[in-house]
């Protein structure tokens, strides 16, 4: 099982499309219009993103946006055997949104179906036989368009090298973590790998990381541990559970972050004290010049374990949409040699998990301070 594509429902189609094209460098490759939605399809060949907006007040996009701010409505997975996957899902009580559809293409067969996930989230399940298009038929013809022109300071000259979707994070209500984990285990076959409990002076969270035995998918699920938690703020603003962020893989995070900053992408700030502490811990491993580059790019550093000579490097964008309910992560999983084979750092480090929580917590406090000032005026 792998992630096939991510489908966002957005209120401002033009602004969202421009953000993905200009900030992340994902080319607009096609668009589609139906009676109740307009969809832009963006792809760099490794990452496929759909952005749908509603021109009117009817249809699933309009309904979603009445209930939630802009965000992820559908996480689509590729599966080896769609019939078996659907039978298992139905047996475990999943609600079918669309039964199995079959589309014969010149060099293969594309099958897909859709089930309701946790909360308002949906999961389209896709099976390919032979060579097929990357996306299933959406109800009306796709219209291919020329790639957008690039200016001299655009990403055309500084490839950000976003190579895959690494993982996505689902936030659920307090007390729902166990039930949500069980749903993804029994319905879609995920398995528990890591768990984290983060507690700061102000708030906390509980998290369970799920993986799939038949692919590289990782799905951390978070619940708030306190009413002041950033997870609870997400649930309040999103008006329910949902996808908080998606991590995009890059083979060189420092080069990628530098390129994205040049075109105006903003990242969460990390305090200097974070790097002072880490530099003492890893002084014998990373050179002074490495630390300067890492701190300049505001990248978090962690290790899978102390015996593995490779790092997990991560950084996080500012919120993308009109509410602070979704952001992107960039992640580099360094490689190392073990037993004569190349391996990649797996999972998540407890240090980065906590550092991310604290960074978002700082942004939460800044928003609350600004709101308080505006209220008092």
Q: Which residue has the higher pLDDT, 349 or 232?
A: 232
Strand, coil or helix: what is 121?
Answer: coil
Give me the pLDDT at residue 220, please: 96
Lowest mean pLDDT of 140-154, 235-249, 358-372, name the range: 140-154
Which pLDDT value is given to residue 160?
A: 55
376 pLDDT higher than 60: no
Say if residues 67 and 239 touch (Cβ distance below 8 Å). Answer: yes
Read off the pLDDT of residues 140-199 as tens digits, 9 standing for 90 and up.
555 655 444 333 344 444 455 899 999 999 999 999 999 999 999 999 999 999 999 988
Residues forming beta bridges with residue 8, ordered by sequence position = 51, 72
Domains and CATH numbers, the chain: 2-144 (3.10.180.10), 164-374 (3.10.180.10)
C-alpha span between 272 and 74 (Å, rounded):
38
Position 293 pLDDT exceeds 80? yes
% of the chain residues with pLDDT over 70: 89
pLDDT value of residue 156: 44
What whole-number distance in Å separates Cα of residue 19 and Cα of residue 327? 12
**Beta-bridge mates of residue 337:** 342
Q: pLDDT value at position 155? A: 42
Q: What is the mean pLDDT of the chain?
A: 87
Q: Given pLDDT bands bounded at 50, 70 and 90, which one contains residue 371? A: low
More confident residue, 26 or 149: 26
33-67: pLDDT as tens digits: 888 999 999 999 889 999 999 999 999 999 999 99
Confidence (pLDDT) at 356: 72
List Cα–Cα distances, 13 to 8, 20, 53, 141, 242, in angstroms.
10, 11, 6, 19, 20
Q: Residues with Cβ < 8 Å from 208, sequence gap 6 or more? A: 177, 181, 192, 194, 195, 220, 221
Please write the tens of the pLDDT for every residue from 120-137: 999 999 999 998 888 886
Residue 44: how many CB atoms within 10 A of its CB?
A: 18
Average pLDDT value for residue range 251-257: 94
Identify which has the larger pLDDT, 289 or 352.
289
Q: What was the pLDDT predicted at 262?
A: 92
Burial profile 314-329: b = 16 or more Cβ within 10 angstroms, e = fewer: bbbbebbbebbbbbbb
Neighbours of 299 (CB within 10 A): 23
pTM summary value: 0.90
pLDDT tens digits, one per residue of 213-232: 999 999 999 999 999 888 99
Q: Is the dihedral of CA 278, 279, 280, 282 positive or negative?
A: positive
Provide the pLDDT for residue 358.
Answer: 76
Q: Are 5 and 49 in contact (CB under 8 A)?
A: yes
| pLDDT in the model for residue 144 | 56
Kind plus residue range of the DSSP H or E element containing 99: strand 96-105
Q: What local confidence, expressed as pLDDT, does residue 152 receive?
A: 35
The pLDDT value given to residue 348: 80
Alpha-helix residue ranges (DSSP H) falling in 124-189: 177-188
**Cα→Cα distances 231→201, 333, 358, 364, Å:** 15, 26, 12, 10
> Which DSSP string corresponds to 4-62?
EEEEEE-S-HHHHHHHHHHHS-PPEEEEEE-SS-EEEEEE-SS-EEEEEE-SSS-SHHH
Instruction: Using the predicted structure, report yes or no on whether residue 27 has a pLDDT greater than 50.
Output: yes
Residue 69 has pLDDT above 90, yes or no: yes
At 321-348, the pLDDT tens digits run 999 999 999 999 988 888 888 888 887 8
């Amino acid at each position: 099982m792998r992630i096939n594509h991510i489908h966002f429902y957005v209120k401002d189609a033009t602004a969202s499309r421009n953000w993905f094209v200009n900030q992340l460098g994902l080319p607009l490759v096609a668009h589609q219009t139906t009676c109740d939605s307009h969809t832009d399809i963006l792809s760099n060949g490794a990452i496929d993103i759909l952005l749908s907006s509603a021109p009117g007040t009817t249809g699933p996009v309009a309904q979603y946006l009445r209930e939630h701010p802009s965000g992820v409505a559908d996480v689509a997975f590729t599966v080896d055997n769609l019939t078996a996957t659907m039978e298992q899902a139905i047996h475990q009580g999943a609600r079918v949104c669309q039964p199995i559809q079959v589309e014969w293409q010149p060099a293969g067969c594309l099958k897909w179906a859709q089930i309701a996930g946790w909360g308002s989230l949906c999961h389209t399940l896709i099976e390919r036989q032979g060579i097929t298009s990357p996306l299933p038929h959406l109800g009306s013809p796709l219209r291919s368009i020329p790639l957008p022109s690039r200016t001299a300071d655009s990403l055309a000259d500084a490839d950000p090298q976003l190579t895959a979707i690494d993982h996505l994070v689902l936030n659920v209500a307090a007390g729902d973590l166990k039930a949500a984990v069980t749903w993804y285990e029994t319905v879609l076959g995920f398995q528990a790998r890591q768990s984290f409990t983060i507690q700061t002076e102000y708030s906390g969270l509980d998290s369970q990381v799920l993986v799939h035995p038949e692919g590289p998918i990782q799905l951390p699920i978070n619940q708030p541990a306190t009413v002041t938690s950033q997870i609870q703020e997400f649930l309040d603003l999103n008006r329910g559970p949902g996808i908080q962020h998606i991590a995009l893989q890059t083979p060189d995070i420092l080069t990628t972050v530098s390129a994205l900053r040049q075109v105006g992408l903003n990242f969460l700030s990390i305090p200097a004290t974070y790097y002072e502490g880490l530099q003492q811990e890893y002084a014998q491993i990373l050179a002074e010049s490495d630390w300067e580059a890492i701190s300049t790019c505001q990248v978090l550093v962690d290790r899978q374990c102390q015996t593995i000579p490779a790092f997990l490097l991560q950084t996080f964008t500012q919120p993308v949409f009109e509410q602070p309910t979704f952001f992107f992560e960039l992640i580099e999983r360094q490689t190392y040699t073990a037993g004569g084979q190349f391996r990649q750092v797996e999972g998540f480090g407890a240090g980065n998990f906590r550092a991310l929580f604290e960074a978002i917590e700082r942004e939460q406090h800044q928003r609350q301070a600004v709101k308080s000032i505006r209220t008092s005026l």
